Amino acid sequence: MTLTLPVLALAAAAATASASPAPTSAPAPVNSREPEALAVIREMAAAAPKIDGYTMTLVKRELRGKELEPEERMAVKWSRPQKIYLKEIAGPREGQEVLYVPGTNKNRIKVRTGSFPRLTLNLDPYGNLAMAHAHHPVPEVSLVRFIELVADNVERADAKKVGSLRIKGHETLFGRKAVVIEATCPATGTTPTLGKGQTLWDLARATGQPMFVILNANKRRGWTQADHAQPGDAVFVPDFYASAMVLWVDEELHVPIQADLYDHFGYLFEHYEHRDLALNPKLTDADFDPKNKAYRF
């Protein structure tokens, strides 16, 4: 039985199942930042604290090993501080439901499998089973978190005068007008040594870099899980989340409605689409209650 826990609000389906290399169009010069593009990122960062909740259809593909996983389409409800309900409506785990409410269920995620045998499980959100098909643990998944991550990377690159940031153009996507932003960052990083009893999760918490970014950066060493690295191992931790980010930012809502993120090997790492996005809808406790009659927990 295989479970997946969908993640990030952060996703266009690639034409093939293999990871696509970064775009071949000429990149902006290194250490080049367009003020207009930086203004869009800062408007996006300013919009995030005003988001108390949202609903959307999330479309995602994420790199696992050398292949992009099949496209998943999920109905998402999210409310501060981190209440989240997800249901896979199309994809390899169609019908699966996930619920997480901080401070309840011993801070575990509740999962209802979408196929036979239909089971309801309570899982450690940072465990190998919960992370089997996800880049980000459910307690850390949200559109707000994604915006904060992107803005932080852009601002740090700007402060260090590295990478590039530009407006690539304007498009209409999912019926919404969007400005297309491209940001690049160098593949620099540090190499801390893993201490006794530590896993890559400990490095993630210490550095602020998501665990799967660290895992992927060290994939040539054969590590596929957070606990595969051993005490004494020197682990490469990238300074930046991605080598390139292409964002479609809604011109009215000032939030990303699509994102393509490339890893430091130059391959498409994550693709997210935020369709039918509704900000600050009227969500109630019932939307995050496993006893909700519309759910199957």
pLDDT at 63 over 70: yes
pLDDT tens for 211-234 read 999 999 999 999 999 999 999 999
pLDDT at 150 over 80: yes
- Mean pLDDT of all residues in 113-131: 93
pLDDT band at 31 (very low <50, low <70, confident <90, very high): low
**What is the 3-state secondary structure of 66-104?**
CEECCCEEEEEEEECCCEEEEEEEECCCCCCEEEECCCC
- Mean pLDDT of all residues in 69-84: 97
pLDDT band at 131 (very low <50, low <70, confident <90, very high): very high
Ordered domains of the chain (ranges, CATH): 32-188+239-286 (2.50.20.10)
pLDDT recorded at residue 24 = 36
Distance from C-alpha of 46 to C-alpha of 43, rounded to nearest angstrom: 5
pLDDT tens for 78-120 read 999 999 999 999 999 999 999 999 999 999 999 999 888 889 9
Q: In what helix (H) or strand (E) does residue 244 lie, and over which residues does it extend?
A: strand 244-250
- Mean pLDDT of all residues in 282-288: 98
pTM check: above 0.85 = yes
Q: In what helix (H) or strand (E) does residue 59 lie, and over which residues does it extend?
A: strand 53-64
Average pLDDT over the chain reads: 90
pLDDT tens for 165-192 read 999 999 999 999 999 999 999 999 999 9
Residue 60 sits at the vertex; the CA angle it makes with 58 and 65, to the nearest 5 degrees, is 155
